[in-house]
Amino acid sequence: MKKTYQVAGHHFSVIMPDHHEAWQMMQNYDPFLTDEVDDCIFIAQWSDFIPEVSDSKLVIESCAGEGFPRAALYDLNDRWEITLGIGPKGPVSLYLLTDKQFTNASFHIAFNTKFSLNNTLMMMFAHSTARKYTMLMHASVTMHEGKGYLFLGKSGTGKSTHSQLWIDNIDHCELLNDDNPVIKVEKDGTVRVYGTPWSGKTPCYRNLNVPVGAIVDLHQAKVNAIRRQTLPEAYGSILKSMSGARFIKEHADGYHATQQKLLAVVPCYSLDCLPDADAAWLCHNTVTQS
């Protein structure tokens, strides 16, 4: 069975056996289901084959610690191989083989089906759109009066909390995405933020998009304070919050070109904040006047 989805104007297809259990775990993709097209950015197909990996081909491996995903990338000359597991020494749950352009991939899931499938499609999306003025972000997004406001920050900073404070205290606010929205620079130069099938622990899978009103980098503090970021600060905030392989030169060039266009039109702020309504109002009153 083959299904095609559209996220941020980009199409991709997934091919798996008709009765594979993974299809029952893809309700978050239903709002993005569309007709089959010829111009998919990537096609990902289930495989029963488990490829062998050799540490001699290892390019990079990363893991934030126990309980966090561990990703490893191997260079097989004409292909990339990516494996995914949990924790520094946990078993591999996902094997992903893709061409160097991230347009055609096969994947095998050993266990953790939903987690592994979501990560397969997020990785393929992030890499295949790297040179299409598109960035998958780690952020929470609240919509207010027709614009989207992205809240960035390290895990545990309070991105979701700050979004909820806007929703609870400020009229006409609603959540667009709570973990993995997409920013895209459109052909006319405008910058929009899109909902996606990926939203972390919060089930918010909305096929909607709005212009970006502002980007706010959050920092926990004992007092609430906000200021406009300098251009280098804003560049750094976005860079640390985007998903992608910056060590691949072509991708890094694509991200740089996207950020140049984005920062020319989107104001960016740094917010020191408490988890309270005053922080939400301070942020709102500042960024909505941009």
How does pLDDT run across 73-116, given as a tens digit for each residue? Answer: 999 989 999 999 988 888 999 999 999 999 999 999 999 999 99
Contacts of 166 (CB under 8 A, 6+ apart): 142, 144, 149, 173, 280, 283, 284
Helical residues (DSSP H) of the chain, grouped into ranges: 113-128, 159-169, 231-241, 249-263, 277-287
Domains parsed from the chain with CATH numbers: 2-128 (no CATH), 135-287 (3.90.228.20)
**Confidence label for 17 from pLDDT (cuts 50, 70 and 90):** very high
pLDDT at residue 52, as a whole number: 80
Separation CA 136–CA 134 (nearest Å): 7
CA dist list (Å): 3 to 9, 142, 264 = 16, 29, 37
CA–CA distance, 274 with 279 (Å, rounded to integer): 6
- Cite the DSSP H helix spans in 202-247: 231-241
CA 53, CA 59: separation in Å to the nearest integer? 12
- The rounded distance, in Å, linking the Cα atoms of 22 and 26 is 7
CA–chain centroid gap for 32, Å, is 15
- Give pLDDT, residue 245: 80
Residue 248 — pLDDT band, cuts 50, 70, 90?
confident
Is residue 134 predicted with pLDDT exceeding 80?
A: yes
What does residue 200 show for φ and ψ, rounded to 5 degrees? 65, -135
Nearest to 144 by CA among 166, 169, 177: 166
Q: What are φ and ψ of residue 75, in 5° steps?
A: -100, 110
What are the angstrom distances between the C-alpha of 249 and each of 80, 121, 256? 15, 22, 10
pTM equals 0.95
Q: Which residue has the higher pLDDT, 153 or 67?
A: 153
Two tokens, residue 273: 């904040």
Mean pLDDT, rounded, of the chain: 95
